[in-house]
Structure 1
Amino acid sequence: MNAETVSKPVIVGVDGSEYSSAALRYAGTLAARLGARLEVITCIGMPDYLVVAHLENAEHPLTARLEETASRLVEDALGRAFTGDRPQNIDVTVRFGPPGKVLVEESRRAQLLVVGRHGEGGFLGTSMGSVSKACAAHSVCPVLLVGQEADDLP
C-alpha cells in the first residue's frame, strides 16, 4: 500500500438505519487497521431538498432543520455503532443530493467505500437496495456492502 492510498479516507454512507450502524462499526474497524481517517457521509435526498429550494428564501429555516435532523440521525447511528470509544480520526458530513450519486462522487477520493446493504429477499437474502447497487456498480474505489449479519464479525 502506497502513501497516497494510506492518506485517502475510508468513507461510510449513513442513513440512520440499523444497516448503517453495522456499516459504521465495520468501517471504523477497517479505518483503524488501515491507519486511515473515517469519513461519515449522510445525504438529504432530492425530494426533501427540492421542496425547500422552492420556498421564498433560499436560506430557509427548513434547510437548517433538515441538516440538523440528518446530523442527529448520524449521531444516533454513531452511538449505536460505537458503544464504547468512537474512532478518534472521524469526520461527519451532511450533503444534499441523491445518496447513490453523492457516494459514487465521494468514492473518487476514498480508498474504500462502505455502505449498509438494504433490501429483502432475493437469492439467499442477497438483494440490495438502490444506493448499494449504485455504489457497487459505479464507485471508483473498492466497495464493501455490509448487512445486518456484520454484527457477528470482529
Structure 2
Amino acid sequence: MIELGFAEWCSKLREAGFKRVFPELSWNSTNWYAKDAIRVMSQYLESLGMQRDGTKVFHSFRHGINNAFQKRTSMPDWMRKRFMGHEPGPGVNEQHYLSDSSPTEMSAFLESIKMPLGKVTAFQTAQGIDAIRDALRRKNKGRGSMEAIGST
C-alpha cells in the first residue's frame, strides 16, 4: 500500500482539508459510509457474472480475511479481532489493557496468507484530489462542500 501511494494519498487529503480517506462517501445512520461502496461492489460482482442472491456480498471479504487469519496463520485471537475492528474479548484485560499491535506486527500475518493479486498501478494523488472535489461538487449541486461527517 505504501509503494502504491496510500500514505502520500492520506497526507494529500489532510493537506486539502479532508478528514477521511473517502471524503466523497455520504453518511447515514443505517449504513454509515458504506451505502455507496456496497452498491458499487454489488454492481461489480454482478458484472463478473455472480448472481445477486445475497450469498456473496460486500461483507464477504471480511469473512474471507477473518477465516484466513483464523485458519492459516498463528495470529493471536485478540489481534485478529482488533484487525477486524472488533473488541478482543469480554474481559477488562482484553478490552482495556491490551495495546493495539503495530502495522508491522499485523502485516507479517497478512503477508503470510499470500493472497495473489493482479498488477496494481500506483495511485495518482493529484488527479484523485481533483476527482473528489468534482464528485463533491456534483453531489452537492455545485456547492462543493466538504465531506459529510457522521456521528460515530
Do they fold alike, i.e. is TM over 0.5? Answer: no
TM-score by length of 2: 0.26
TM-score (norm 1): 0.26
Structure showing greater radius of gyration is 2
